[in-house]
Amino acid sequence: MSRGIARERRLANGKIVGGVALTNGALPNILKNRHYLGELNHHGRSWPAEHEPIVDVVLFDAMQAKLADNLNRAANRNAKSGALLMGKIFDNRGNPMSPSHTVKKGARYRHYVSSPIA
């Protein structure tokens, strides 16, 4: 799922690193960064910083609650399905693989299929 949003930075020697599209894995990590609250992070702890907050505390807390809710929903969905690899395997283009099955002569054959996100 790429919408043309990418993160890149220029090093002191002029080399550009990054430039790959943000995914569902990288985006929550960015949104959890307390730097946006005007804090500095070091070894899992945060301290007040000299810069002004970019996001107010109410919005940040609401965003954290939404991210936690999404994690819980995904965990529950995976637990109910019984498919052990659900949410853990991806095709060669990075699309998630979803469990599926086929029935032939009364026997159920389980397999995973690619499910591209539109």
Q: ∠ at Cα 78 (63, 117), nearest 5°?
A: 65
> What pLDDT, on the 0 to 100 scale, is given for residue 35?
86
pTM summary value: 0.47
Tell me how many degrees the CA angle 65-68-74 measures, rounded to the nearest 5.
140
State residue 79's pLDDT score: 62
- Does the pLDDT at position 105 exceed 90? yes
pLDDT of residue 78: 60
State pLDDT tens for residues 45-98.
888 889 899 889 899 899 888 888 877 776 666 666 677 787 788 888 888 888
In the chain, % of residues over pLDDT 70: 83
Over residues 30-49, the mean pLDDT reads 86
Q: Please, what is the end-to-end C-alpha distance for the chain in angstroms?
A: 7
